[in-house]
Structure 1
């Protein structure tokens, strides 16, 4: 019942209930005085009757008004006191104090709104703590991945300065290692800069109509030499008679596929490395699956595969090369395309990276 109805009924009750009480009191006192005790409606008996009736009326008015006032005020003040207490607890930082209410009036709605606000504040606080933790982990990962090649560079420079590289061959080897370590640092800084730009939506996207079948045919042909150099092969599995038209940014799509394939080749532990690309035409999207024949990834690591600097085991560390941001950038780009990216894997059976792209709408 709403507060407005409750107040209206209370006001009606303050009028009707005393009248009913007066009538009942009149009948009871009349019966007692003039029937049960054989009193007379005059003289002292009448005066006593009138006096008792007046006292009874005052008592009835006081009791009924007191009870109604207590009921109405309690039904309003009690939830208000709970809300006030909850506000104080939240102000003090206690976001676990619940103010759920089963009432169906305005105060119940207010309590539900307050509870929704509390839950939102709690979720925001959890998100803030997670963000702070991720920021600290990201800073630590960046520091580690920059410090490792920098330490190596300093060590080899000191070796050159101390005359350890005392032959042209050794000097050339030292300089090659220094260059490679500097190149790794440059790649990390580049990917980190790109990742941060995606994070604040500062990367422009130029969407166009792309035929994924032709796109992957050309892409695999372009990287065939590099894949063979890495001891692998790549193949496209799709029907040339099926339409695979999507809306995408061609340059960013190339970055997505390149990052996935490079990441797969890096961690395949078999002599013959295999990359298979599958295209699946669905109702309103195209699903791309890039599968490798690596050792696979444990199930507990799959949900975190697209997080920045995440390593699933000791073999997946900075010693294998790369910035550790490849798949994190993949997810950022696919998110900007309105698609999804995920991974499926079985230990010893390889890993499949999936992502979806929206179909090109025919006009």
Structure 2
């Protein structure tokens, strides 16, 4: 019951209850006066009637006021206590209420705010932890090639690279490490801009079937040198026209395929792209026949700087940001990205892109 209704009923009660009580007292006292006392001692009768009137008014007003104030003051005291605790940083004080009045609604609204603050605090804690891990990972990944460069430079200064051939090898190593550092810095810059939503998207209509036809041609040429193959599969009657930023889509596909090629352990390498038309999206699956990913590590492959095989970092290289960047780009398109894998068999990375409502043919492929 609302507070307004309770106040109205309380005011009515302060009028009705005394009147009914006085009527009952009048009947009882009158019966005593006329039938017990035989109409004698009128003064006693008047005194009793007046005393009963005073007692009834005091009790009625007192009790109604007490219960009304208790139903209002108690929730307010609880809210005040919770607000003080929250201001002190304690977000564990619940103020949830099962009452349906205005104060109950206020308590539940306050409870929702408390839960959101607690959730935000948890997110902030996780963000701070991720930031610390990010700094540690950046420091490690930049220090490794830098240490190598310093070692080769010292070798040149000390005359260890005494022959032109050895000097060229040292210079090639320095150049490669510098290139790796430059690539890492570029990926960090891109990741930070995506993370802060400072990278604009230039959307256009892209036919994914034509887009991946071109991509598979280029990838096939690369894999032929390693006795591998790249395949594209989709229903020819389907519509694969989506809204996408072509440059950033290139980055997503490149990051996924480079990650697949990096962990290929089969003599016959194979990458297959499968397009599936959904009601509102187009689903892209990029499937490889690599080493696969353990189920326990699968949920973390889109985390920044996460690598599934730390022991092979030096061999596989990379910043550990590739799939994390891909995830941010796909989410920036309003799509979703996920992975499925079977160790020893291979991995599939899936992502979705929104279909264009107008399915008319366009010349832009």
Cα separation, 1, equivalents of 2:149 and 2:259? 25
Cα separation, 1, equivalents of 2:140 and 2:238? 47
Cα separation, 1, equivalents of 2:25 and 2:356? 85
1:97 is matched with 93
Deviation at 1:166, TM superposition (A): 2.0
Deviation at 1:79, TM superposition (A): 0.6
Residues 54-94 of structure 1 deviation map (CA, whole Å, 9 limit, x = unaligned): 11211111111111010100011111111111111111111
Deviation at 1:233, TM superposition (A): 2.3
1:289 aligns with 2:285: yes
Cα separation, 2, equivalents of 1:143 and 1:316? 19
1:166 is matched with 162
2:21 is matched with 21
The answer as to whether partners of 1:40 and 1:46 remain within 8 angstroms in 2 is no
Cα separation, 2, equivalents of 1:259 and 1:33? 103
Classify the secondary structure of the residue corresponding to 2:296. helix
The answer as to whether partners of 1:306 and 1:327 remain within 8 angstroms in 2 is yes
1:131 is matched with 127
| 1:212-361 alignment, distance < 5 Å | 212-229=208-225, 232-315=228-311, 317=313, 319-361=315-357
1:151 is matched with 147
The answer as to whether partners of 2:205 and 2:244 remain within 8 angstroms in 1 is yes
Cα separation, 1, equivalents of 2:212 and 2:283? 13
CA RMSD of aligned residues (A): 1.6
1:108 is matched with 104
The answer as to whether partners of 1:267 and 1:316 remain within 8 angstroms in 2 is no
User: Can you give the 5+ residue segments of structure 1 that lack an aligned partner in the other structure?
Assistant: none
Deviation at 1:41, TM superposition (A): 2.8
2:10 is matched with 10
The answer as to whether partners of 2:286 and 2:349 remain within 8 angstroms in 1 is yes
The count of residues paired between Structure 1 and Structure 2 equals 359
Classify the secondary structure of the residue corresponding to 1:300. coil
1:211 is matched with 207
1:88 is matched with 84
Residues 199-241 of structure 1 deviation map (CA, whole Å, 9 limit, x = unaligned): 2222232222222121111112223333344553211122344
Change (3 A) 1:171 1:264: same
The answer as to whether partners of 1:230 and 1:265 remain within 8 angstroms in 2 is no
TM-score, reference length from structure 1: 0.95
The answer as to whether partners of 2:283 and 2:353 remain within 8 angstroms in 1 is yes
| 1:169-208 alignment, distance < 5 Å | 169-208=165-204
Cα separation, 2, equivalents of 1:350 and 1:341? 17
TM-score, reference length from structure 2: 0.94
2:363 is matched with none
1:41 is matched with 39
